[in-house]
Amino acid sequence: MEQEKKRLNGRQKKRLLRTFLIAAGVTFALCAIVIIAGIVIYNNTLAADSVSEVVNIELTEEEEIFEEEKEEVSELNKTIAVFGVDEDEIRTDVIFVVNFNTMTNKVKVVSIPRDTKVNWSDKQKRAYNQLTGYSIGVSKINEMSSYGRINKNIGNIRDFTIDEIENILKVSVDNYVVINLEAFREIVDAIGGVDMYVPQNMYYVDNCQGLYINLKEGQQHLDGDAAEGLVRFRQYARGDEDRVGVQQIFLKAVAEKVMSQSVSSLAGIATKLFPYVKTDVKLNEVLDYLDLLNQFNLENLTFYTVPGYGAYEGKISYYYIDDNALEDMIKEVFLDTTVAGEDPEEGDSSDTKNEEEEIIIDKSVEIAVYNAAGVKGIAGRMKDTLQSVGYTVKKVANYDETDLSESIIYTKDKAKAAQFLQYVKGADIVEDSSITYDIEIIIGSESVED
Output the CA torsion sign for 430, 226, 91, 67.
positive
Exposure pattern of 186-215 as b/e (b: 16+ CB <10 Å)?
A: bbbebbeebebebbbebeeeeeeeeeebeb
**Percent of the chain having pLDDT more than 70?**
72
Express each pLDDT in 34-59 by its tens digit: 333 333 333 333 444 566 776 667 77
Instruction: Output the pLDDT for position 269.
Output: 64
**Cα separation, 256 vs 95, whole angstroms:** 20
pLDDT of residue 75: 57
Which SS3 state, helix, strand or coil, does residue 370 take?
strand
Give the separation between CA 100 and CA 270, rounded to whole angstroms: 23
pLDDT for 73 equals: 54
Res. 363: pLDDT tops 80: yes
Query: What's the residue count for the chain?
Result: 450
The more confidently predicted of residues 147 and 245 is: 147
pLDDT tens string 95-130: 989 887 767 777 788 989 999 999 999 999 999 999
pTM exceeds 0.95 for this model: no
Backbone angles phi, psi at 183, to 5 degrees: -60, -40
CA 186 centroid distance within chain: 22
CA-nearest of 90, 74, 99, 85 to 306 is 99
Reduced to 3 states (helix: H, G, I; strand: E, B; else coil), residue 382 is helix
User: Which among 66, 282, 56 is positioned nearest to 164, based on CA atoms?
Assistant: 66
Q: Which residue has the higher pLDDT, 270 or 195?
A: 195
Share of the chain above pLDDT 90, in %: 21
- pLDDT at position 120, please? 96
Q: Work out the mean pLDDT of the chain and round it to a whole number.
A: 76
Distance from C-alpha of 437 to C-alpha of 307, rounded to nearest angstrom:
7
Taking only Cα atoms into account, the Rg of the chain, rounded to an integer number of angstroms, comes to: 22
Q: Helices 122-132 and 161-169: crossing angle, nearest 10°?
A: 180
pLDDT tens digits, one per residue of 364-417:
899 999 998 888 888 888 888 888 777 889 999 888 766 778 889 999 888 888
CA distance 197 to 184: 19
The secondary structure element, H or E, covering residue 244 is: helix 240-259
Q: CA-CA distance, 26 to 37, in Å (whole number)? A: 18
Task: End-to-end CA distance of the chain: give it in Å, rounded.
Answer: 64
- pLDDT-derived band at 6 (thresholds 50, 70, 90) equals very low
Q: Does the pLDDT of residue 442 top 80, yes or no?
A: yes
Walk me through the domains of the chain, giving residue ranges and CATH numbers: 2-334 (3.40.630.190), 357-447 (3.30.70.2390)
Q: What is the DSSP letter of 227?
A: H
DSSP 306-327: --EEEEEETTEEEEEE-HHHHH
Mean pLDDT within 78-105: 81
Kindly list the distances between the CA atom of residue 95 and the CA atoms of 62, 109, 111, 262, in Å, as whole numbers in the listed order.
27, 10, 6, 27
Task: Give the integer Cα–Cα distance in Å for 171 and 67.
Answer: 9
Across the range 299-322, mean pLDDT stands at 87
What angle do helix axes 240-259 and 224-232 make, rounded to 10 degrees?
A: 150
Which residue type is seen at 83? F
Helix H or strand E encompassing 132: helix 122-132
Q: How many whole angstroms separate alpha carbon 287 and alpha carbon 294?
A: 14
pLDDT at 71 over 80: no
Helix intervals (H) in 315-405: 323-334, 348-357, 378-388
